[in-house]
């Protein structure tokens, strides 16, 4: 199965299930479920009322995507939606459940995007946008990659960019032999104030030194490029 590299039991997201979950919650508290499947609805339905854990809702629902590069297929066909989370508890259940990014093989990506936005340049909410790109040296995979990705995820779900958090679409980690990459995608490359604010906060949250420069690139430029170098619209 395509996603087996990323996870050991998460069922891939099934849109039809979305409607069914509510019904199941109401009528079947004891329905068997995968102990590893992070579903807020089930957690809410379980347990006697007095010990019901309090769940902490996220401001947005987020979808985790996985991409395993199979060159025999179209790029979009390699993209798979794993699951969605909308509480802090579900986020941690998911994070603990999937493989660390550093353990994925080259060519794989994880992407965490707001529900409803696909992690593609073509999605209408990304089309005019771009990304803050953190390019890592090969040796950073073992020392820093997982920590940087976790911090990126926490910036997203914690809505860390103040009023500009609404500009954030998601983030992608790309495992590559030539050097791994982490990027935060925003929706409007021309919205300079928001892009700069997000870049500055993000760089600080990652703990990057002042002399490390990260660049913001428009997806339109990345998609049109003929080599790996896309010009930076902004740097911090
Ligand atoms: P990549 O995975 O973003 O970077 O894009 P990688 O593998 O480091 O390669 P490099 O070109 O940056 O050095 C690899 C290729 O995947 C792209 O050249 C596209 O062919 C395809 N691709 C990546 N993305 C994010 C998209 C996308 O959003 N839409 C489409 N149509 N193709 C994409």
Q: Which atom of ligand 1 is nearest to the CA of 67?
A: 2
Q: What is the dihedral of CA 29, 35, 36, 37, to 10 degrees?
A: -20
Within 10 angstroms of residue 115's Cβ, the number of other Cβ atoms is: 12
Query: 223, 226, 228: which to mutate for ligand 1, most atoms within 8 A of CB?
Result: 223
Number of residues assigned to the chain: 236
What pLDDT digit, counting tens, does each position of 208-218 carry? Answer: 999 999 999 99
Average pLDDT of the segment spanning 147-163: 98
Structure tokens at 199: 């870049």
Higher per-residue confidence, 39 vs 45? 45
Q: Give the whole-number percent of the chain exceeding pLDDT 70.
A: 78
What pLDDT digit, counting tens, does each position of 121-146 carry? Answer: 999 999 999 999 999 999 999 999 99
The dihedral built from the CA positions of residue 149, 192, 194 and 224, taken in this order, carries a sign that is: negative
Residue 121 near ligand 1, beta carbon < 6 Å: yes
Q: Supply the mean pLDDT for the chain.
A: 86
Could you tell me the residue ranges of all domains in the chain? 57-114+126-235
Q: Cα(152)–Cα(176) distance, rounded to whole angstroms?
A: 18
Residue 227 near ligand 1, beta carbon < 6 Å: no
Q: Which helix (H) or strand (E) holds 20?
A: helix 15-27
CA nearest neighbour of 133 among 66, 26, 221:
221
Assign residue 93 a region (left: φ > 0; alpha: ψ between -120 and 50; beta: otherwise): alpha
Q: Which atom of ligand 1 is nearest to the CA of 109?
A: 2
Task: Decide: 156 and 142 in contact? Cβ < 8 Å.
Answer: no
**Considering the domain 57-114+126-235, what is its CATH architecture?**
2-Layer Sandwich (3.30)
Q: Cα(137)–Cα(97) distance, rounded to whole angstroms?
A: 27
Check residue 35 and give its pLDDT.
37
Calculate Rg over the CA atoms of the chain: 18
Check residue 78 and give its pLDDT.
97
Whether the pLDDT of residue 167 is over 80: the answer is: yes
Q: Cα(111)–Cα(63) distance, rounded to whole angstroms?
A: 8
Q: Which atom of ligand 1 is nearest to the CA of 120?
A: 28
């Amino acid at each position: 199965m395509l996603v087996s590299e990323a996870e050991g039991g998460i069922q891939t997201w099934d849109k039809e299930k979305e409607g069914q979950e509510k019904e199941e919650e109401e009528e079947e508290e004891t329905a068997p479920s995968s102990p590893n499947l992070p579903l807020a609805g089930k957690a809410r339905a379980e347990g006697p009322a007095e010990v019901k854990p309090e769940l902490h809702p996220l401001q947005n629902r987020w979808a985790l995507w996985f991409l395993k590069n199979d060159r025999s297929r179209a790029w979009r066909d390699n993209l798979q939606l794993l699951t969605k989370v909308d509480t802090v508890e579900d986020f941690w259940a998911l994070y603990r459940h999937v493989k660390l990014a550093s353990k994925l093989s080259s060519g794989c990506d994880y992407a965490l995007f707001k529900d409803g936005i696909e992690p593609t340049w073509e999605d209408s909410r990304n089309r005019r946008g771009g990304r803050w790109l953190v390019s890592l040296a090969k040796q950073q995979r073992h020392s820093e990659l997982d920590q940087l990705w976790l911090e990126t995820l926490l910036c997203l779900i914690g809505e860390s960019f103040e009023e500009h958090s609404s500009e954030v679409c998601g983030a992608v980690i790309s495992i590559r032999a030539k050097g791994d990459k982490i990027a935060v995608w925003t929706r409007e490359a021309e919205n300079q104030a928001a892009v700069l604010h997000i870049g500055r906060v993000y760089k600080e949250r990652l703990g990057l030194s002042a002399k490390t420069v990260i660049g913001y690139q428009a997806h339109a430029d990345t998609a049109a490029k003929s080599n790996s170098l896309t010009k930076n619209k902004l740097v911090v």
